[in-house]
Amino acid sequence: MHVNAALFRAKELLDAALVPVHAWRGSPPWSLGYYTRKKRAIMRAIDEESVRPNTPLPPAFGVALDERIVEYPWLFSRLRAVGELGKVLDAGSTLNHEYILNRAPLAKANLTLMTLAPEKRCYWYKNYSYVFGDFRTSPFRDELFDTLICISTLEHVGLDNTLLYTTDRSKAENDRFGFSEAVSEFKRIVRRGGRCFITVPYGQHQDFGWFQLFDARMLEQLINAFGPLSYEVEFFKYSRLGWERASQLEVEDATAFDPHSGRGRADDRAGCARAIACIQMIK
């Protein structure tokens, strides 16, 4: 086992052992035990299909959990409806978790994962491919992919990615609309009739340096950059009572909590974004 994989496994075991302490402390986001609690909740929500189209979320869904608790089940619900996924690109490598990759229909998918810099843990031995680089100038030929997935990644494109993702100082940017180039590239590499699944944190625009919240203007620009034949956008909001479906109007003033700086902290135990937009587009 690679040393990074061994260290990660040791951290997982320690985190799992501290779940009771995490619960005793009131389940604060990002404290020891949080990773395990979130992972277990995500697996359960995917397997139970808790996020289905036009269906309310379960009561108290995802209390004190960040937006992944909605995004992953939302994605799996829509992928299962597609059927044959064909050649798939994970733009952002957000699917790079064993408990995600092991679930149908991603299990054994013809999947390429692309992100800015090498991952500490890769699953190449499961026949997944890894590519590292900038989405805005990808190495892929035109119309290569049948399905493109980009979960909570576009909010980092064009901003300062040196905090978490790379040591390359050229990636310390400040371009609010840099995501448009990435989405235009997505359009180029997705085949006609192919599908694109994107999620972004949503609300009033806020720039946290390493990520930003999309507002209505930015969301419109994202969709226009892809120029879909058809599309659907679903909104979800967080409160101290958990996640629930919402209208766009209900989330236009939503904010976020930055777990690295502490900016935006409140007593609702939000993990990060307090609203998200989930977008499905057909080219």
For helices 216-226 and 179-189, the axis angle rounded to 10 degrees is 30
**Three-state DSSP class for residue 208:** coil
Contacts of residue 249, Cβ cutoff 8 Å, sequence gap at least 6: none
pTM for the whole structure: 0.94
Strands (E), 144-274: 145-151, 190-201, 230-239, 242-246
Local structure of residue 58 (DSSP, 8 states) = P
Question: Structural domain boundaries of the chain?
Answer: 3-282
Res 83: pLDDT = 84
Q: In this predicted structure, what is the pLDDT of residue 44?
A: 98
Q: Which two tokens stand for residue 140?
A: 């892929």
Look at strands 230-239 and 275-282 and give their pairing. Answer: antiparallel
Query: In whole angstroms, what separates CA 167 from the centre of its chain?
Result: 22
pLDDT in the model for residue 69: 98
- Residue 3: the pLDDT is 46
Question: Is the domain covering 3-282 a CATH 3.40.50.150 domain?
Answer: yes
Between CA 44 and CA 21 the distance in angstroms is: 21
Distance CA 78, CA 70 (A): 12
Q: If DSSP states are collapsed to H, E and C, what string results for 151-166?
A: ECCCCCCCCECCCCCC
User: Cα separation of 94 and 115, whole Å?
Assistant: 9
> pLDDT tens, position by position, for the chain (283 residues)?
344 667 777 888 888 888 888 889 999 999 999 999 999 999 999 999 999 999 999 999 999 999 999 999 999 999 999 989 999 999 999 999 999 999 999 998 999 999 988 887 888 888 899 999 999 999 999 999 999 999 999 999 988 888 777 777 877 788 899 999 999 999 999 999 999 999 999 999 999 999 999 999 999 999 999 999 999 999 999 999 999 999 999 999 999 999 999 999 999 999 999 999 999 999 9
Quick one: angle between helices 3-17 and 34-47, nearest 10? 90
